[in-house]
A and B are shown apart, each in its own frame.
Chain A
Amino acid sequence: MAGSNIEKITAPRWLLAELTYRCPLQCGFCSNPLDFSRYKQELDTEDWVRVFQQAREIGAVQLGLSGGEPLVRQDLEVLVGEARQMGYYTNLITSTLGMNEQRLEKLQKAGLDHIQVSFQAPEEVLNDQIAGASSFLHKKRMTQAIKAAGLPVVLNIVIHKGNIDKMRDILEMCIELNVDYVELASAQYYGYALKNRDLLLPSKEQLERAEAIAHEYQEKLKGGMKIFYIIPDYYEKRPKPCMNGWGSMFLTVDPEGLAQPCHSAKLIPDIEFPNVKDHDIRSIWYDSPAFNHYRGYGWMKEPCASCDEKEKDFGGCRCQAYLLTGDADATDPVCEKSADHGLIEDAVACAGQASSNAQVFLRNRFNSEKIG
Chain B
Amino acid sequence: MTERLSVQSIPKLKSLFRMQWEPAQDAHVLLYPEGMITLNDSASEILQLCDGKQDVLQLIAKLEAKFPAAGSLEADILEFLEEASANGWIEY
Given contacts A150-B15, A223-B1, contact A62 B35 (CB under 8 A): yes
The yes or no answer to A217 lying at the interface (CB within 8 A) is no
Complex contacts, A91 vs chain B, CB 8 Å: 33-34
A223 to B36, CA, bound (A): 19
Q: How far is the CB of B3 from chain A (nearest CB, A)?
A: 13
**B16 touching A11, Cβ below 8 Å:** no
Which one of B24, B31, B86 lies within 8 Å of A89 (CB-CB)?
B31
Which residue on A lies nearest to B20, using beta carbons? Answer: A87
Q: How far is the CB of B24 from chain A (nearest CB, A)?
A: 3
A114 to B32, CA, bound (A): 8
The yes or no answer to A181 lying at the interface (CB within 8 A) is yes
Complex contacts, A89 vs chain B, CB 8 Å: 18, 31-33, 36
**A61 touching B29, Cβ below 8 Å:** yes
The yes or no answer to A341 lying at the interface (CB within 8 A) is no
**B22 touching A180, Cβ below 8 Å:** no
A154 to B15, CA, bound (A): 13
Given contacts A11-B24, A226-B88, contact A62 B16 (CB under 8 A): no
Complex contacts, A116 vs chain B, CB 8 Å: 33-34
Which one of B16, B22, B24, B36 lies within 8 Å of A152 (CB-CB)?
B16
The yes or no answer to A13 lying at the interface (CB within 8 A) is yes
**A113 touching B34, Cβ below 8 Å:** no
A52 to B18, CA, bound (A): 19
Best-surrounded residue of A61, A89, A150 (most CB of chain B within 10 A): A89
Which one of B22, B29, B33 lies within 8 Å of A114 (CB-CB)?
B33
Which residue on B lies nearest to A59, using beta carbons? Answer: B24
A39 to B83, CA, bound (A): 48
What is the 8 Å Cβ interface bit string for chain A, positions 110-124, against chain B (1 contact, 0 not)? 000110100000000
What is the 8 Å Cβ interface bit string for chain A, positions 10-31, against chain B (1 contact, 0 not)? 0101000000000000000000
**B24 touching A62, Cβ below 8 Å:** no
Given contacts A89-B31, A226-B88, contact A13 B1 (CB under 8 A): no
The yes or no answer to A64 lying at the interface (CB within 8 A) is yes
**B33 touching A152, Cβ below 8 Å:** yes
What is the 8 Å Cβ interface bit string for chain B, positions 10-37, against chain A (1 contact, 0 not)? 0000011010101011000101111110
A58 to B86, CA, bound (A): 33
A residues in contact (CB < 8 Å) with B:
11, 13, 58-59, 61-62, 64, 87, 89, 91, 113-114, 116, 150, 152, 154, 180-181, 223, 226
24 contacts between A and B (CB under 8 A): A11-B24, A13-B36, A58-B24, A59-B22, A59-B24, A59-B25, A61-B24, A61-B36, A62-B31, A62-B34, A64-B34, A89-B18, A91-B33, A113-B33, A114-B32, A114-B34, A116-B33, A152-B32, A154-B33, A154-B34, A180-B33, A181-B33, A223-B88, A226-B88
